[in-house]
A and B are shown apart, each in its own frame.
Chain A
Amino acid sequence: MSVDATTVRRIAHLARIAVSDAEVPHLQGELNAMLAFVEQLSEVNIDGVEPMTSVTPMEMKKRADVVNDGEIADDIVRNAPDTTDHFFLVPKVVE
């Protein structure tokens, strides 16, 4: 399989990364090189094979359903580019 220019633009939008028209041919070439490389997986017989979902066989740990953290609003917003009163500010979303 390979990707065309339209697909490159669609993936970039899905990934929320702006891509200029001038960059598309180059990216298309790189992505197709990677896809050509992984193509060899199609020759592996995977009939009846379970996909790996856990690297080490272990039961999912669950913690007690209690409040064990919090009251750190200053820490949470400390690295944000734009905040007011412990809220994150973003460009207007609702008209």
Chain B
Amino acid sequence: MTDLTSLTIAEAREGLASKSFTAVELTDAHLAAIEAARVLNAYVLETPDRAREMAKAADEKIVKGEGGPLAGIPLGIKDLFATRDIRTTACSKILGNFIPPYESTVTSQLWRDGAVLLGKLNNDEFAMGSSNETSCFGPVTNPWRREGSNTTLVPGGSSGGSASAVAALLCMGATATDTGGSIRQPAAFTATVGIKPTYGRCSRWGIVAFASSLDQAGPIARTTRDAAILMRSMAGHDPKDTTSVDIAVPDYEAAIGKSVKGMKIGIPREYRLDGMPAEIEKLWSEGAQWLKAAGAELVEVSLPHTKYALPAYYIVAPAEASSNLARYDGVRYGLREPARNIIEMYENSRADGFGDEVRRRVLIGTYVLSAGYYDAYYLRAQKVRTLIKKDFEDCFAKGVNAILTPATPSAAFGIGEKGGADPVEMYLNDIFTVTVNMAGLPGIAVPAGKDTQGLPLGLQLIGRPFDEETLFSLGEVIEQAAGRFAAPRWW
């Protein structure tokens, strides 16, 4: 039955409807695959009993013709989403054994539509990282390897468990979150499709907060169509999140295969970096040609403040994180270290509970918000953010429908290879993705080719606010032209 794991969500949906197999069989196949792939460390918690229960319930509904849009589809959930009565840790020691008495809005909508929970997926601690190396459960292994090499590569981050599990056929799709590139960069490193929706499209309620003005949930899947199917269930207005937008959720899947003829695709000159690998450059122009061949028009555009997005992000995101993470005080939940007085208790609990990257960001965030530095750092960064957003608005005002860029400046790298001496080295991974979060726009990463060592590379499409449909249409064109990429199984 193991071949059931290689189906797409769209194919599985058909197979379930035509009774070729049951949801329980589909779930069992995935549970077996997960067990055989523990070396990847993609899951931090497997929930086989819950999965079988949910699959059985889905089968009963399917028989009665009452199955929802995701009936019986087994999914992995990033451990940043609160799942009722199931341990949720954000992969931080400080939340070691947190059992939420509530369910995140996004996951509750997936269960409403019939999806099956296989387990919780690894991520960088509090989603802070670009390699999944900062998780308290240890790093995740990318199922992809360089040709002829056994070197263990990172799957990207922070949604590294989600990307690795989807690429290694350990779930049919996964939830993920993206604050600076955490959906799109791991998708690019694993030849999967990942979309960060427009800020406000998915509810943030019940997702462990990192940087509230940047965080957004989205799916990682193996095809553009599958990502569209998942998006429809994940998106929607939620009164419990004041930034959630009350706009009807379109049928994203209907955008798959829709003509892109006459669309204007912006190619931003500022994304052509000095020293950019030739293969990234080649991939980018190839992608542009595919869109052109499908009838789109290519236009060179300028986004002059691009280079300031990453430094502005490293003020805004840590500032918001330092504020959000103030709640971990050892009083109401999570780790508590004994101490003589309450201040020491806070200090010891937080010193022991936070990993190095989280501590670093909380400290820098505290500094840029502290008296005397607020104007020079935080206020300035928020003004630069206005300029970054305006760059995109000017571009869209000229009739551009979407912008095409590389997703990452390189393919996946080795565990321990980056950021050891200087944290900024790791941060540069998000140079192409972070602008999108700063402007609150939707962005999709689609696999588009391989580098000379046989590793997958992705392209990114950036859209107008709440126009995810155009991204799905364009993403499908790239997918059709580039073909799909499957990691050879070695585990």
Alpha-carbon distance A52/B313, docked complex (angstroms): 13
Contact string against A for B residues 371-406, beta-carbon threshold 8 Å, 1 for contact and 0 otherwise: 001001101111111110100000000000000000
Residue of B101, B242, B311, B329 touching A38 (CB-CB under 8 A)? B311
Question: Are the CB atoms of A55 and B382 closer together than 8 Å?
Answer: no
Contacts of B345 in A (CB 8 A): 90-91
Alpha-carbon distance A90/B315, docked complex (angstroms): 33
Question: Are the CB atoms of A41 and B311 closer together than 8 Å?
Answer: yes
Contacts of A12 in B (CB 8 A): 363
- What is the distance, in angstroms, from B384's C-beta to the closest C-beta of chain A? 5
* B334 at interface by CB-CB < 8 Å: yes
Alpha-carbon distance A75/B102, docked complex (angstroms): 9
* B342 at interface by CB-CB < 8 Å: yes
Q: Please report the total number of A residues contacting B with Cβ < 8 Å.
A: 52
Residue of A3, A17, A46 touching B350 (CB-CB under 8 A)? A17
Question: Are the CB atoms of B200 and A15 closer together than 8 Å?
Answer: no
Alpha-carbon distance A12/B427, docked complex (angstroms): 22
| Residue in B closest to A75 when the chains form the complex, CB atoms | B101
Question: Are the CB atoms of A80 and B331 closer together than 8 Å?
Answer: yes
* B69 at interface by CB-CB < 8 Å: no
Contacts of A60 in B (CB 8 A): 242
Contacts of A30 in B (CB 8 A): 360, 423
| Residue in B closest to A13 when the chains form the complex, CB atoms | B347
How many residue pairs link A and B with beta carbons under 8 A? The number is 158
* B81 at interface by CB-CB < 8 Å: no
Q: For chain B residues 393-432, which have a beta carbon within 8 Å of chain A?
A: 422-424, 427
Residue in A8, A18, A39, A49 whose Cβ sees the most chain B Cβ within 10 Å: A18
Question: Are the CB atoms of B243 and A55 closer together than 8 Å?
Answer: yes
Contact string against A for B residues 5-27, beta-carbon threshold 8 Å, 1 for contact and 0 otherwise: 00000000000000000000000
Residue of B336, B347, B376, B383 touching A51 (CB-CB under 8 A)? B383
Alpha-carbon distance A62/B373, docked complex (angstroms): 32
- What is the distance, in angstroms, from B344's C-beta to the closest C-beta of chain A? 8
Q: Please report the total number of B residues contacting A with Cβ < 8 Å.
A: 70
* B292 at interface by CB-CB < 8 Å: no
Alpha-carbon distance A12/B354, docked complex (angstroms): 13
Alpha-carbon distance A58/B17, docked complex (angstroms): 41
Contact string against B for A residues 1-39, beta-carbon threshold 8 Å, 1 for contact and 0 otherwise: 101000110011111111100000001001101110111
Question: Are the CB atoms of B422 and A91 closer together than 8 Å?
Answer: no
Alpha-carbon distance A3/B97, docked complex (angstroms): 36
For the complex of A and B, the 6 pairs showing the least CB-CB separation, nearest first, are: A51-B382, A55-B440, A79-B333, A75-B101, A18-B351, A18-B347
13 of the cross-chain contacts (CB-CB < 8 Å) are A12-B363, A31-B360, A37-B424, A37-B427, A40-B307, A51-B382, A51-B385, A51-B386, A55-B440, A56-B243, A75-B102, A78-B99, A93-B342
A interface residue numbers (CB < 8 A to B): 1, 3, 7-8, 11-19, 27, 30-31, 33-35, 37-42, 44, 46, 49-53, 55-56, 58, 60-61, 63, 72, 75-82, 88, 90-93
